[in-house]
Amino acid sequence: MKKVDTPLISEGKGSKNKLSSRGRSFGYQVLGFGAGDAAAPQFTVACGGNATHTDGNFKIHVFTSPGTFTVTQAGTLPLFPGDPTAGPSNVDFLVVAGGGPGNVAGGGGGGMRTSYPSPGSCAGAHPIAAQAYPITIGGNFSDSVFDSITSTRGGNGQHYVGCLSQPASPGGAGGGAGAASGNSRTGGEGNDPPVSPPQGADGGNSGSQSQITGGGGGGGGASGLVGGPGPGGGGNGPPIATAFFGPNSPSYGEPGPAPGRWFGGGGGGSLHANVPSPEPGGAGGGGNGRALPGTPAENGATNTGGGGGGATGPGGQGGSGIVVIRYKFQ
């Protein structure tokens, strides 16, 4: 091979055989050595939550009560090769609000927002930085919050006392309506389309029977179902793929009619009659409503955002919410 001499570049009079600083740095800048190196890729490092679990290269933080998600190092890797949306320092999330309380009608399921509609999907994942993020877990009739993501509380079921009636309220999912003497009323509105992002369905209308009746609360989440008309069952909330929580985690949420873990079920409605069968709460922790006069309804299940059941006795309280955060840590 023919030897090629490196040409000398003069920096001025009397400066023979000296390479310019520009020439000297060529190998470092172009070939990527020395001070011009890009920072080495790194993974997210964080702490916080009532429990943490791992699933292969992913870590999952679960908040069942208020706390702080502290990021000490924000990662610089996508969640998976070729990921077009979830760039550096992103996490997946599930934020479920507290369910609404039941009265005569069932309470609405807590609103639900998530970036994880199915296993392996990271579309819409949330960007993070190295800082502390306070986590709010909604209790009965209150919101849950992670950073800029707020899931709205479930609406309360309508209350009926004699000729007076307190309307069902809107919410992440609407509360059901209650009425008597055939005076049908409309359930509370959920945060469904055109509201964006959608968080829950409408509550059920009251029935047209002569007795006091209450509709079921709406189910939380973008795919939650409308509560049944009085006396009606609560609307189902949506399922989250079990894989989101990892194979070694406890069973968060509730089982439902299809695979996955279910959240944000609406509370069941009521019927003022001497029949023992309850109006069922929706899948996702909705409390059962009651028919027997004076019998209290069930509360929504803890950490599901389920709505409280309706009753002519005391209505059930809404179940508390939950926040789950998942990211790549190795």
Rounded Cα gap, residues 235 and 207, in angstroms:
16
Q: What is the pLDDT of residue 53?
A: 94
Cα–chain center distance at 288: 23
Q: What pLDDT is stored for residue 9 in this prediction?
A: 34
**pLDDT attached to residue 85:** 47
pLDDT at 210: 62
83-89's contacts with Cβ under 8 Å and 24+ in sequence apart are: 83/122, 85/122, 85/123, 85/124, 85/125, 86/122, 86/123, 86/125, 87/127, 89/44, 89/127, 89/128, 89/129
| Predicted pLDDT of residue 11 | 39
From 200, 189, 203, select the one nearest 104 (Cα to Cα): 203
Residue segments in the chain with a per-residue pLDDT below the cut of 70: 1-41, 77-88, 117-124, 160-167, 178-183, 208-210, 273-276
pLDDT of the residue at 102: 92
In degrees rounded to 5, what are phi and psi of residue 22? Answer: -65, -40
Q: What is the CA radius of gyration of the chain?
A: 28
DSSP state letters, 197-263 = S--BPPPPPP--SSS-EEPPPPPBSTTPPPPPSSS-PPPP--EE-GGGG-TTS---SB--SSSSEE-
User: Which pLDDT does position 82 carry in this prediction?
Assistant: 57
10 Å CB burial of residue 74 (0-12, 13-18, 19+) is: buried
- pLDDT tens across 147-179, in order? 999 999 999 988 765 555 566 777 777 777 766
